[in-house]
Amino acid sequence: MMRLLSSVVLPALVLTLSVSALAENAAAPAAGNTDPLTGLLEQIGQYSDQESAQNKAREAQFRNDLAVQKRMLSEARAALKREQQLADSLKQRFDNNEQALTEREEELRLRVGNLGEMFGVVRQVANDLNTVLADSLTSVEIPQRKADLNKLAEAKELPNIAELEALWFSLLQEMTINGAVTSFDSVVIGADGRPQTRNVTRLGVFNAVDGDGYLAYDAELKQLQMLGRQPDASSMIPEWLNSDAAVAPLALDPSRGALLNLSLESPDLLERVQQGALVGYIIIGLGLIGLALAAWRLAVLGSIGRKVRQQLDNIDTAATNNPLGRVLASYRDLPQPLDVDVLEAKMDEAVLRELPALERGQTIIKLFAGIAPLLGLLGTVTGMIATFQAITNFGTGDPKLMASGISQALITTVLGLLAAIPLLLAHNWVASRSKALIQLLDEQSAGLIAQALENRANNANVANKTPKGN
């Protein structure tokens, strides 16, 4: 491109310079009084010669440049040919490598054979054993295993003989210690959260115990910890640990601790009562007061009944320490004779005076029996209010947040029914004993009235039979 510009621009520049020179030479003869045409022709001839020489020089330069370009083109073509030959050689080598790789893969597949299936089995067994050991109680006694289970479970290549033997040994070891009862020293997290070194007895893969009771296994921490509350069956553990007999009784959790944890999460009677909160305590208080009142009234009525029976055995002597004796005393204190209506009214009055003492406390017992289920309903409503408030604040994601309100609602209902049922039975018992005594007083009162009427009739008959002359 630069050569093309030089070949075009240089002649134009030379022509411009020639024209300028001609103009100067034309002005010069005029000053020297020479022939301007002659000088102009000479100058034109000189410039024509110079331009021819320049053109020849440019042609020679062009020919030289053309040779150079041809030489460079020849060199580029040679380099292209060499690169093409190299590319063909590399492609041939790549094709040969592809073919060799295919042959080697086929040879590897034929040589591996069933080892590929064994590789899958090894990975599956290692993964299963690793999962079992993560929750196994034996990990406390033997935390490290001979086989690298994580590596075998995630391996991308065939395991070697040493790794297979280590896996076999770990499987055999786990199967052996699963059925063994062993004692060893281990760190146990106490009820206060502090770690302690204790002598622990492992019962296979089911439970771990020490002198204080059952221990729980935390799979995340890989440690044993004391239970917050021991079950009733833990009383057999000290005797079992100190027993020299071949067979000794011991409670075993076949679910590997799941039932123990569930039993501990189940509240006892006191915790159930505490879930009823204030309403539950009020219901229990009313029930106890009502039952105590019923017991007191039954004791009083029982004492009155014994005295009344003694009075029946000695009906001629009226004692004032029992209702029947007081009714008899009232009858005998009446002036004789009396009109039947007056006598009946007096006897009814004597019986009515005894009723308040015999029926005392029955209304309160009946009232408590009616209030108890109503308080249970009140506790149910307040518990459901607390439940809905928990749902409003925290949503329904965690059911444990709603358990407190629901427990209060149900426990208060149960407590109300448990208080009402025995109170109703006690009220019925007290009322029946009281009615029996009242009925006895009514019978004796009616008997006294009948006896008075009979005496009056006998006196009238005697008077009618007596002769008037006498």
Contact 344, 338 (CB under 8 A): no
Helix (H, G, I), strand (E, B) or coil at 33: coil
pLDDT at 4: 40
pLDDT band at 13 (very low <50, low <70, confident <90, very high): very low
Report how far residue 203's alpha carbon sits from residue 360's, in angstroms, rounded to the nearest whole number: 63
Whether residue 454 has pLDDT greater than 50 = yes
Closest residue by Cα to residue 260 from 192, 198, 207? 207
Query: Mean pLDDT, the chain, as a whole number?
Result: 78
267-315 residue pLDDT tens: 667 777 777 788 888 888 898 999 999 999 889 888 888 888 887 777 7
pLDDT band at 458 (very low <50, low <70, confident <90, very high): low
Rg (CA), the chain: 62
375-388 residue pLDDT tens: 888 888 888 888 88
Pick from 119-128, 134-143, 446-455: least confident: 446-455
Helix (H) or strand (E) holding 377: helix 362-394
Pick from 27-31, 50-54, 158-162, 365-369: least confident: 27-31
pLDDT at 121: 82
204-263 residue pLDDT tens: 888 888 888 888 888 777 788 887 777 777 788 888 888 887 788 888 777 777 777 776
96-115 residue pLDDT tens: 999 999 988 888 777 666 66
186-198 residue pLDDT tens: 888 887 778 888 8
Pick from 6-15, 212-221, 225-234, 327-336: least confident: 6-15
Whether residue 23 has pLDDT greater than 60 = no
**DSSP code, position 190:** -
Q: Which residues contact 117 (CB under 8 A, 6 or more apart)?
A: none
pLDDT at 398: 65
Pick from 263-272, 317-326, 362-371: least confident: 263-272
Contact 418, 305 (CB under 8 A): no
The token duo for 245 is 């007999």
pLDDT band at 429 (very low <50, low <70, confident <90, very high): very high
**DSSP code, position 235:** G
Higher-scoring residue by pLDDT: 455, 49: 49
pLDDT at 292: 93
pLDDT band at 32 (very low <50, low <70, confident <90, very high): very low
Pick from 112-116, 118-122, 383-387, 443-447: least confident: 112-116
Tally of CA atoms within 13 A in the half-sphere of 367 that contains its CB: 6
Whether residue 346 has pLDDT greater than 80 = no
pLDDT at 101: 92
Whether residue 436 has pLDDT greater than 80 = yes
Report how far residue 236's alpha carbon sits from residue 328's, in angstroms, rounded to the nearest whole number: 67
70-84 residue pLDDT tens: 888 888 999 999 999
Counted residue by residue, the chain has a size of: 470
Contact 312, 445 (CB under 8 A): no
Is the pTM above the cut of 0.75? Answer: no
